[in-house]
Every structure is written in structure tokens, then in C-alpha cells.
Structure 1
């Protein structure tokens, strides 16, 4: 079947009352324009579900729509996407603000390469994709009118807030086990928009293509701290030592 027809059907379903995640005319037009098959392949392009690719989770179209409706970019805004992934979200944004106004970063090198190739194949080669630690942002191109963080964090990363324009907006999954989609302004004021479930933002050494991930080291440090503060056997109240 013609991919354009499948795209139209996908967006129609996202606009239907049963989902209602596409509400803006610009987002409807942008998602109908971006050839998603250039990013994920024809078989998976237009099914509304997440899946794994190169060690990362590819967001479902409905989740992408929720993020971008919350972000609400205006024409010609400067936008930073933290967590470039396969590059699809950046392409949809490029339809709204222009490809040259979109920068995207990812901590995993092979995802950066994949996103660049996908964007070029889809006709958005002007989107800049660079390998960076997401928490550091991309200060060379700041300030940004909009920042989209596609990974969960306990609190808004300070470096990203510092890179927002005075009237800018950041959208991110906020929290750990219990997450909510949130908008954050440059002063750190947040508005919560409903529950979500995203993977946590990675730091250097945790990306999928490293030889040895350091999340275990971080977890070991946390367990050691908790153990140091916990009671040992002879301190437990429930033991009758007499």
C-alpha cells in the first residue's frame, strides 16, 4: 500500500476521539508529511506501538504526538531534542520550525549515526545531530525556544534550563518509578500533564554500545550508602539478645 495512505490512516487514528493525541493542525500536517518508513522500515512504520532498535526504545507515534503537543513549537523556533534516537521526532519538528532550526543530541554514537542517515534519507539533512551527554545540552546553539527531553529525570537538568530562552519551554518525563509528562519554564516552574513511562536519562558510560556500563557502579555506591546507614544485626530491636 502507498506509504502516504498509511500515514494518513495513522494520523486519522491519532486524531480520533478514542486517542485524541493529535489536536493541532500543524502536528497533523507534519506527521502526514514525514515518511516514517525512512526511520523504522515499512513493516513497523505505521503501527502505534513502541519497539527496540539499536538498544533504544523507539517511541510510538501516539507518544511522539503527546510530547509535541505539549512542546507546542512556533514557526522558526530554535529547538533542541535531547535523545535523538532514530531521528523521527526531530523530523516532525523540522516540518514546523525548519530543519536548520532543529538540533538533536544523543549519548550513543551509533544512534547519532543512525539518526543522521535516517534524516538525510527522509530529506531533513539540515537537522544537526551530535553525540553529547544529554544533561549538558548543546550550549553552542543556545538559547532555545523549546527543548524536548525524551528520557526521564528526577528533576529538570540545570544545564538545560540555563539554555532555555527567557520565554522558552522544556518538555520532559519527570520522576523515577512514577513519572509525569511535564512542561518546565526557564525559572523551573512545572506543569504536570499526566502519567508517562520513559527510560531514565543516561550519563557517560551507560550508553548501549559501551563495553562496560557504569550503572552498576552507581547502583553499588547507592547500596553501599544505604547499608552504611542501616542497622546491623545486633542493633535490631526485634532480636532478644538476653
Structure 2
């Protein structure tokens, strides 16, 4: 069947499931060839897997992008590029030169770059980074979208928001609510300004937790001894970071939130 027809059917299904769809977002979803990003039944409203990372269903992507509420020419950061489909939609909405994306997994970065290039969005910048650190050299961002769950927005991402900027993410673990937050001067550093219902995404990973990296445990300790024993700890940015290697080397160590 004609991919354009399949895209139309996909968008109609998403609009029906969400009781409506923003016109600009609907046009973007009808324009972006999802087949360039997802090989297996790309226009089905279902999730999938690629290189150990979740491929989000079109309906969930629509919810994330809709909550972001990006205007043309907004500078946008996507944390967790995945296969690149969300970044392509945002390129349609704000312009590809205004979209920046990062992922902690090198293979996903390379695949997303290829997919975006094949789909005609090679102006999107994709870099391999620890997503919790953001992309400071391109800040500030009018919009930040985190395609992973955490108990709170990483401080670096809040710091990289422009005045009146908006960060969207699933907040809370193990059960998360899709929220939009703005940075403020409160002790928490942010305020929730809108909620968009439950959203299930994988936890945000930090350096050392990616599938091709060394497993780390931030709940109690993460030293070389545990690594040699083959200890594999739960992942997720929800715990405080304790630099046990630094302490073992005689340093004072530190905590990072």
C-alpha cells in the first residue's frame, strides 16, 4: 500500500485515540516518512525495540510533542534521540536547524543521524552525550524534551532553559506522569505547570549505564570490586550518584543530583 495512505491512516488513528490532534502536529506526522526510521510496520500505532532502546508508538510521540508546544524557530533539545523520528517531527515544526538531539548510546546516535539524513532532515544535530548533562554549548533552549523517565528534571537541563522555557518529561518512578515544567528559584529549581496523564518510558540513563558500557550501581556503591564480580545493578537516574572510585583512590568523593 502507498506509504502516504498508511501515514494518513496512522494520523487519523492517533487523532481518534487522543480525541483530537493539533493541526500543525498532524501535518508534520503526515509529512515525515516514519518508514525511514522504523523498518517493521512503521505506520502501526505500536511500540518496538531498536538496539536495546524503546521505539515509541506514534500516539505516545504525539503526546510528547504536543505537550512540548514548540513554536516555529524555537530552539529545541531532545534528550534520548532513539531512532530519530521525534526529532524529525520537531524539525517540521520549528525548522531542522533549530533541533538538537543527544543520546548516551553511540549506535543510536549513528543510526539516528543516518535515518534523519535519509528522510531529508540532515540539518538536525545529533550528538553522543550523557543526556542528564544536556548540550550546554548550544544552550539556551526554548524547549527541552526528555524521552525517558526520572523522579525530577536534571539540574543541568533546567539551567539550559531559556527564560520562559519549557521542559517536558515523564516524571516519577516507577509510575510516571507526563509533565511540563519551568525553571524557577524554588529549592527544587522547577515548578510543574501542566500535567498530561500517565506515560510509561524507560528510565533516563547516565554515563556507564548504556548497554555497551559498564553497569553501575548508584543505590549503594559502584566500585571496581563490584565491577570485577560482574555485578549488574538496576538503572535509572532516580538515585544519587556516589563516586566510589574517587573515594577508593583517596579522594574526597562527591554526590551529584
Q: TM-score range by the shorter chain?
A: 0.7 to 0.9
Deviation at 1:220, TM superposition (A): 5.1
The separation in 1 between residues aligned to 2:219 and 2:50, in whole angstroms, is 25
Q: Which runs of 5+ in 1 are unaligned?
A: 224-242
Per the alignment, residue 189 of structure 1 pairs with: 191
The reply on whether 1:4 has 2:1 as its aligned counterpart is no
Structure 2 matches for 1:127-138, cutoff 5 A?
127-138=124-135
Q: Shift in Å at residue 78 of structure 1? A: 0.4
Query: How many angstroms apart in 2 are the aligned matches of 1:21 and 1:167?
Result: 28
SS at match of 1:189: strand
Q: Are residues 22 and 55 of structure 1, via their aligned partners in 2, closer, same or farther at CA, if it must alter by over 3 Å?
A: farther
Per-residue deviation, residues 37-58 of structure 1 (Å, max 9, x unmatched): 00011x3201111111101000
| Residues in 2 aligned to 1:35 and 1:198: alpha-carbon distance in whole angstroms | 23
State how far apart, in whole Å, the 2-side matches of 1:21 and 1:208 are.
37
Partner of residue 62 from structure 1, selected from 59, 63, 67: 59
Give CA-to-partner distance per residue, 1:147-201, whole Å, 9 cap, x none.
Answer: 0000011111110001111111010000111210000012211032211111110
Aligned mates of 1:93, 1:112 — CA distance in 2: 17
Structure with the greater alpha carbon radius of gyration: 1
* Structure 1 stretches of 4+ moved >4 Å: none
Task: From 20, 34, 46, give the equivalent of 2:32.
Answer: 34
Instruction: Count matched residues.
Output: 217
Whole-angstrom distance in 2 between the partners of 1:142 and 1:158: 14
Which residue of structure 2 aligns with residue 213 of structure 1? Answer: 215
- Residue 160 of structure 2 is matched in structure 1 by 163
Aligned to 1:74: 71
What SS does structure 1 have at the residue aligned with 2:37? helix
Task: With the length of structure 2 as denominator, give the TM-score of the two structures.
Answer: 0.82
SS in 2 for 1:205: coil
Partner in structure 2 of residue 111 of structure 1: 108
Q: What RMSD, in angstroms, separates the aligned Cα atoms of the two structures?
A: 1.4
Residue by residue over 1:127-152, the C-alpha shift from the partner in whole angstroms, topping out at 9 and shown as x without a partner, is 00000000000011111110000001
Deviation at residue 22 of structure 1 after TM alignment: 5.0
> In 1, distance between residues paired with 2:173 and 2:157?
19
Structure 2 CA distance for aligned equivalents of residues 169 and 220 of structure 1? 33
2:203 matched to which residue of 1?
Answer: 200
TM-score normalised over the length of structure 1: 0.87
Equivalent residue number for residue 124 of structure 1: 121
Partner of 1:221, secondary structure, is coil
* Local SS of the residue matching 1:152: coil
Contact 1:153–1:174 (Cα < 8 Å) also in 2? yes
Structure with greater helix share of residues? 1
